[in-house]
């Protein structure tokens, strides 16, 4: 997997299993408790392949984020959350895994994998 670009607000993901490259745009980041009564940080993106636009919310469970950032020795920040969510979304596009879901909640393994793809500048 390629390293996540340092710009977490707009980037490209792909190619997907059908050979398409998607433009990804960050929309918002907010606590899931405010909208879904969930202990998550929710990060919303809009994806577009030129013909089709879709919305994806990547939910980062707060306890798992704290555990992963503690292990990695990095501080939890909005920029880091955007990077983790963006890295996971890129993986979703490239593999097709969970791509049909509008809301995807990451596991501890997902967070650790995504965290390894976030540039060091965002992780510190």
User: How is residue 118 annotated by DSSP?
Assistant: S
pTM comes to 0.89
The domain tally of the chain equals 1
Q: What is the 3-state secondary structure (H, E, C) of 18-30?
A: CCCCEEEEEEEEE
Residue 84 domain-assigned (yes or no): yes
Mean pLDDT, rounded, for 84-107: 97
Tokens found for residue 119: 């540039």
CA angle 107, 108, 113 (to 5 degrees): 95
The confidence band for 118, taking pLDDT boundaries of 50, 70 and 90, is confident
Residue 2 domain-assigned (yes or no): no
Q: Which domain holds residue 39?
A: 10-116
The confidence band for 88, taking pLDDT boundaries of 50, 70 and 90, is very high
- What is the rounded end-to-end Cα distance, in angstroms, of the chain? 21
Residue 31 domain-assigned (yes or no): yes
Residue 42 domain-assigned (yes or no): yes
Tally Cβ neighbours within 10 Å of residue 122. 21
* Residue of 76 and 124 predicted with greater confidence: 76
**Are 65 and 112 contacting, i.e. CB atoms less than 8 angstroms apart?**
no
Percent over 90 (pLDDT), the chain: 79
Residue 4 domain-assigned (yes or no): no
């Amino acid at each position: 997997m390629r390293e996540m670009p340092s710009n977490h607000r707009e980037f490209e993901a792909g190619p997907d299993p059908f050979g398409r490259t998607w433009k990804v745009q960050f929309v918002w980041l907010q606590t899931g408790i405010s909208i879904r009564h969930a202990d998550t940080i929710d990060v919303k993106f809009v994806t577009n392949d030129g013909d089709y636009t879709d919305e994806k919310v990547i939910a980062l469970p707060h306890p798992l984020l704290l555990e992963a950032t503690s292990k990695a020795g990095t501080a939890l920040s909005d920029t880091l959350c955007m990077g983790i969510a963006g890295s996971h979304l890129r993986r979703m596009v490239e593999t097709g895994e969970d791509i049909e879901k509008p809301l995807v909640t990451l596991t501890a393994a997902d967070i650790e994998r995504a965290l390894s793809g976030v540039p060091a500048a965002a992780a510190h």
